[in-house]
Structure 1
Amino acid sequence: MKDAEGPQDPTQRYPRPDFPQQDQQYPGWTGPMDPPPDHGEESYRGSELLTDRKALVTGGDSGIGRAVALAFAREGADVLLTHLASEEEEAQETARLIEEAGRRAVTFPCDIRDEAQCRMLIETAVSEFGRIDVLVNNAAYQMSQPDGIMAISTDQFDRVVRTNLYGMFWLCKMALPHIPAGGSIINTTSVQAYKPSPHLLDYAMTKGAIVTFTQGLAQMLASDGIRVNAVAPGPVWTPLIPATMPDIQEFGKQSPLGRPAQPAEMAPAYVFLASSNASFITGEIMNATGGTPLP
């Protein structure tokens, strides 16, 4: 992303809390968010870092996924993005941004909790693109439970684990035969992996598992020339926040920068890890937490 405006104070670059209280039904929608999220629509400028790459981004309809899909396209990649069936309108907006960048967009409704749907997703990606150069496992589920473990139902626990872990596991396993040497896998973990919030206990647990999975898989695939890394965001202003948290007025205030990140601020990390500039980087977790110190 070219810095056309020169150095900017990161504490003041984007809106800071307190935010208006706003509630949405899961999975949330970008439109009514106040302030609106920035996915890089006006700011991201590509540098041909991913020319002619073929990328698959789960949860690419909104939030971090949309920002990554947009950045990948402006870097020269074609993108297949997944979304829930209820998020078709959001997915089409992301597709519009990709095509506006001159690249090919494919949208695919998919619930990655289902192994058969994951298999269809990989088959579609290979049919459309011929290969998968970059797999971004970004789709996730969370639901805040301020009353703690006693309020986490088995249904919720199952949904969190199957979305955040089973889907990632299946997609990596199924995609590997179609990822050439020089390709990469990028997983989305979280600051929650290291500093779990009690109200997000089940979600935080899965994000810790993603760290371990990333580091282990990276060692397994190194000799094949496939890199595996992860990005660990701190608080990010996405539709998932008003859809899964009861009180968001002070969301992000706890970060040392005093605000949540915008999705556009996460995308460059994924671009770097997907590009040849990161050719000696594998098994790493890139922390993007707004200054929260992590191990």
Structure 2
Amino acid sequence: MREAIAYPPPRTPVAMVTGGSRGIGRSITEELLRSGYAVSLLATRPEPTDTLQELRTLPGGSGRVTYIRGGVDDLDVGPRYLAATLERFGRVDLLVNNAGIAPQVRADLLEATPASFDRVLSVNLRGPYFLTQLVAREMISQRDRDLAAVGIDVSNGLPLLDRPAATIINVSSISADTVSTNRGEYCVSKAGVHMATLLYAARLAGEGIVVYEVRPGVIATDMTAGVKDRYDDLFAAGISPMPRWGRPDDVGRTVAMLACGHAPYSTGDVIHVDGGMHIPRL
């Protein structure tokens, strides 16, 4: 059996986090900064000066946060986002596809519109799918440069590595396999994210890149604020073994755990962050 070689660690690993300035994305950013990452954020709002200042006051955050404005659904944004990240930090070790939207109107499945379907699928699935393609190519090139820098030639094949060369994490939703008939387009988009995770995990495993899916349950964010009373009642009725709302930091800490590179023989896995809601119960 071949021995795994030591993959050269970067002095400061770099993460790209879409939708990384608020809600779940902000918690992901905070946890990655605490874990030693530099973070390049992509979001649609004008640059949130106060938020960025707060992030830069975290331990290790000074000089290690940059912000690019744009929507992941615009396929012209991806190359600009990657180029800005490389210009600022010189590399990319982690991609977190976190940005996502809900339908503007929760419409019954028989009343939902093609416009809403296209909007949700474009942001939640199409955009991340092609951003992953773009960043994965850069990760492969970077891997070759990293190995060449320590005298390892990959022209005859990639050697076994002792840790992942890079990591991709898709943030999906319990809606990937739990039906809500008043937001079908959202469920379809998240089911698609699951398949995209499996596809990229299979394609990139031989490149030394691992891919995971983090699947939140009911998390207290702006997206769920409008249904708070409904889910308060459902939690009281026992919808989840852990009888509380999830918090953004529950997801952030899970992403940081996966980003540490300590699971080099795992890929394509779904990590539920839902208080056990996914467990079938009688």
TM over 0.5: yes
Aligned to 2:211: 228
Which is further off, 249-258 or 261-270?
249-258
List runs of 5+ in structure 2 lacking aligned partners: 1-8, 144-164
- Partner SS state of residue 169, structure 2: strand
2:159 maps to what in 1?
Answer: none
2:248 maps to amino acid: P
Matching residue of 1:248? 228
Matched-pair contact (CA < 8 Å) for 2:109–2:183: no
Tell me how many residue pairs correspond in the alignment.
242
SS, match of residue 228 in structure 2: coil
> Structure 2 CA distance, aligned partners of 1:241 and 1:164?
16
Q: What CA distance in whole angstroms lies between the structure 2 residues aligned with 1:141 and 1:191?
A: 14
Q: Which of residues 148, 162, 179 is equivalent to 2:108?
A: 148
Deviations along 1:141-180, whole A, 9 cap, x unmatched?
A: 1126444123322221111000011111121111123224
CA distance in 2, matches of 1:134, 1:215: 17
The alpha carbon displacement at 1:255 in A equals 2.5
Tell me how far apart the structure 1 counterparts of residues 196 and 24 of structure 2 sit (CA, whole Å): 21
The residue identity in structure 2 corresponding to 1:55 is: A
Which SS does the other structure have where 1:149 is aligned? coil
Q: 1:92 to 1:186 in 2, by over 3 A?
A: farther
How far apart in 1 are the matches of 2:11 and 2:34?
9
Q: Structure 2 CA distance, aligned partners of 1:113 and 1:206?
A: 13
Gaps of 5+ in 1: 1-48
Instruction: Determine the C-alpha separation between the residues in 2 that align with 1:275 and 1:149.
Output: 40
1:187, 1:214 within 8 Å by CA — same for their partners in 2?
A: yes
Could you tell me which amino acid in structure 2 is paired with residue 139 of structure 1?
Answer: A
Q: Indicate yes or no: 2:140 matched with 1:157.
A: no
* Residue 290 of structure 1: aligned partner: 275
1:252-293 per-position Cα deviation (integer Å, ceiling 9, x unaligned) = 623332221011111121112111212222110101111113
Q: Secondary structure at the match of 2:96?
A: strand
1:176 alignment counterpart: 136
Identical aligned residues as a percent? 27
Change (3 A) 1:176 1:146: closer
Look up the match of 2:76.
116
The one-letter code matched in structure 1 to 2:94 is V
Q: TM-score, normalised by structure 2?
A: 0.80
Amino acid paired to 2:252? A
Deviations 1:40-97 (A, max 9, x none): xxxxxxxxx99711000000011111001000001111001111125x33x7415532
Distance 1:178 1:95, change over 3 A: farther
Q: In 1, distance between residues paired with 2:107 and 2:198? A: 33
